[in-house]
């Protein structure tokens, strides 16, 4: 299990065209923000949204959250200009929609390589097409690739499926690819943004699958995702006891401890340390 330096429990989409929402986001306790120029922005607003977002990002004020910009596809009339505008700002990450292959990513990475402001800019990929999901392993290892975002709306559309259950295999396949490459992987959105119980259920499922967090579309969803993807007090307390018990066992010359009737070996200690690291990263994020 990777020890992540920052949490990605709640990853909020904000339409780049909505100035009020762009302002409001500065106060919201989301771990990460996706500033969207793609599907949340109407065709006739695309150009204005790009300019507005560039202005707001240059002003700053979003704290230490992860800031990610979703541009339009490079095969659309807006993608190249979105990328050019964002390269002048040098955002932390560019999120590419509907990625189909590692070559899609490599082409954008080469452009970032050539620009002085984007030396540290990561690339994230929307995993939302059947071909992209089949190519998940190569996409996860593409240049600058740092995170997968599941696009369950587009995927459901392309599959013609009616339930989240029908997408479980795709979700797990992308998680496997992300974990094998050591990158972040966040779950898709829950569209019924006023249904708190439904969101909590889907967050719990995503957490149990192993996602780092969930993408969100409304501020009311943030607290639910933050709670679901954070280690509970009981998990933190158990992790501490497991580490202590294992260290005592090692000091006695043994390789296995027992806590609450269950064995604790070095691999369980790795998981316990990851739990504490995650709790520490969350505390750091919330204190900032």
Ligand X SMILES: CC(C)(COP(=O)(O)OP(=O)(O)OC[C@H]1O[C@@H](n2cnc3c(N)ncnc32)[C@H](O)[C@@H]1OP(=O)(O)O)[C@@H](O)C(=O)NCCC(=O)NCCSC(=O)C[C@H](O)C(=O)O
The contact set with Mg ion (CB under 5 A) reads 128, 151, 154
Q: Which of 72, 152, 242, 285 binds ligand X (CB under 6 A)?
A: 152
Asked if residues 133 and 156 have their Cβ atoms less than 8 Å apart, the reply is no
Q: Is 219 in the site for ligand X (CB under 6 A)?
A: yes
The strand pairing partners of 145, in sequence order, are: 123
- Helices (H) and strands (E) counted in the chain, each on its own, are 12, 10
Cβ closest to ligand X, residue 109 vs residue 149: 149
Backbone angles phi, psi at 187, to 5 degrees: -75, 165
Asked if residues 72 and 79 have their Cβ atoms less than 8 Å apart, the reply is yes
Which of Mg ion, ligand X, none has residue 21 at its interface (CB below 5 to 8 Å by kind)?
ligand X
Q: How far is the CB of 36 from Mg ion (least distance, A)?
A: 10
Cβ closest to ligand X, residue 141 vs residue 218: 218
Q: Which DSSP string corresponds to 104-164?
A: HHHHHHHHHHT-GGGTT-EEEEEE-SHHHHHTHHHHHTSTTEEEEEE-HHHHHHHHT--SS
- Binding site feature residues for Mg(2+): 128, 154
Q: Which of 2, 3, 24, 237 binds ligand X (CB under 6 A)?
A: 24
- Binding site feature residues: 70, 128, 154
Q: How far is CA 239 from CA 94, 105, 129, 244, in A?
A: 35, 38, 38, 9
Binding range to ligand X, per CB under 6 A, among 88-96, 149-157, 159-167, 243-251: 149-157
Q: How far is the CB of 283 from Mg ion (least distance, A)?
A: 33
Cβ closest to ligand X, residue 170 vs residue 245: 170
Q: Is 218 in the site for ligand X (CB under 6 A)?
A: yes
Q: Is 94 in the site for ligand X (CB under 6 A)?
A: no
Q: How far is the CB of 39 from ligand X (least distance, A)?
A: 4
Q: Is 13 in the site for ligand X (CB under 6 A)?
A: yes
Q: How far is CA 208 from CA 159, 174, 229, 283, in A?
A: 24, 15, 9, 22
The strand pairing partners of 70, in sequence order, are: 36, 95
Q: Is 79 in the site for ligand X (CB under 6 A)?
A: no
């Amino acid at each position: 299990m990777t020890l992540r330096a920052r949490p990605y429990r709640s990853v909020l989409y904000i339409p780049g065209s909505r100035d009020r929402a762009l302002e409001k986001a500065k106060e919201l306790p989301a771990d990460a923000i996706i500033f969207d120029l793609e599907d949340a922005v109407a065709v006739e607003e695309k150009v204005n949204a790009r300019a507005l977002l560039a202005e707001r990002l240059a002003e700053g004020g979003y704290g230490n959250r992860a800031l990610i910009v979703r541009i339009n596809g490079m095969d659309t009339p807006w993608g190249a200009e979105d990328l050019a505008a964002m390269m002048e700002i040098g955002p932390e990450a560019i999120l590419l929609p509907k990625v189909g292959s590692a070559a899609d990513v490599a082409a954008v990475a080469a452009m970032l390589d050539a620009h002085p402001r984007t030396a540290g800019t990561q690339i994230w990929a929307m995993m939302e097409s059947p071909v992209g999901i089949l190519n998940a392993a190569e996409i996860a290892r593409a240049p600058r690739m740092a995170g997968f975002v599941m696009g369950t709306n587009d995927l459901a559309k392309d599959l013609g499926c009616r339930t989240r259950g029908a997408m479980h295999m795709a979700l797990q396949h992308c998680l496997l690819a992300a974990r094998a490459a050591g990158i972040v992987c966040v779950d898709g959105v829950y569209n019924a943004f006023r249904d708190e119980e439904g969101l909590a259920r889907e967050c719990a499922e995503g957490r149990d699958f192993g996602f780092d967090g969930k993408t969100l579309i409304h501020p009311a969803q943030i607290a639910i995702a933050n709670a679901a993807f954070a280690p509970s007090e009981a998990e933190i307390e158990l992790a501490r006891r497991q580490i202590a018990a294992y260290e005592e066992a090692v000091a006695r010359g043994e390789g296995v401890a027992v806590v609450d009737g269950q064995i604790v070996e070095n691999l369980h200690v790795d998981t316990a340390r990851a739990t504490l690291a995650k709790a520490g990263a969350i505390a750091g994020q919330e204190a900032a």
